[in-house]
Structure 1
Amino acid sequence: MPRKPVNPVEIWQAYVGLGMLALEAQAVIGIRLLGMSGAFPVGKSENRKMLAEKPPAFARAATAAAKKAVAGGSPEQILTAAVKPLTRTARANRKRLVSKAVARRKKT
């Protein structure tokens, strides 16, 4: 199978996607650590959610990457496909944690 030419824009997009995943994940980790210490209001079930969400998120990422690989995607396209579901999950977690904290602050 002939190799596809390298597309610098796709490589850049893959790295930007990884960067966004890192930022979202660090924000969620920070919020959850603050929540565990009592400095940030989080739900009582947050620790359970934190563990339960990992397998499905990584399964979605692996499935997306495998589909892109089978379709003949380039390495950067495969990486982007794998990172998207993880970033989506991390972003949703960050938004959920912050919105619940803001709602709790408004009640007091």
Structure 2
Amino acid sequence: MRQRKGTHATPADLIGTSVRFWMLIAETQSVIAMRTLGMAGLWSVKPTERRRMVEEKLPAFTEAAMAAGTAAFHGKRPDQVMDAAMRPLGKATRANSKRLSRRGVWRR
């Protein structure tokens, strides 16, 4: 994202943040769906998936909080702070979605 020198976000800045937010939501929902199907025995997941989904939360949210705090400390606009917080979460959800989608449905 290009950082503007102005103190106010443009409509394009806000639309970009909104699109990134909704992409994060969609990726998160797909990961939840695939993991739920995996626990029901309908999606191919590794046996370590349950442990993984718990263990990944703290590092991801810690990184997001640190990124948002750093952006706020440096005087970034609210949309830039939100983008900074979403970046590590989006990275994690994108990786999970990609990894889980490759495994696919159980073949019976």
* TM-score normalised by the chain length of structure 1: 0.87
- For residues 14-59 of structure 1, the C-alpha deviation after alignment (integer angstroms, 9 at most, x for no partner) is 1111101100000000000100000111011100000000000001
Provide the rounded CA distance (Å) in 2 between the counterparts of 1:98 and 1:6: 36
Q: Secondary structure at the match of 1:72?
A: coil
Q: Which has the higher helix share?
A: 1
Provide the identity percentage: 41
- Partner of residue 100 from structure 2, selected from 82, 97, 100: 97
Equivalenced residue count is: 103
Provide the rounded CA distance (Å) in 2 between the counterparts of 1:8 and 1:30: 33
Contact kept, 8 Å, 1:13 with 1:80, in 2: the verdict is: no
Unpaired runs of at least 5, structure 2: 1-5
- Residue in structure 2 matched with residue 87 of structure 1 by the alignment: 90
Pairing of 1:27-106 with structure 2 (within 5 A): 27-101=30-104
* TM-score normalised by the chain length of structure 2: 0.87
Q: Secondary structure at the match of 2:53?
A: helix
- Runs of 4+ deviating beyond 6 Å: none
Unpaired runs of at least 5, structure 1: none
Root-mean-square deviation (CA, aligned residues, Å) is 1.8
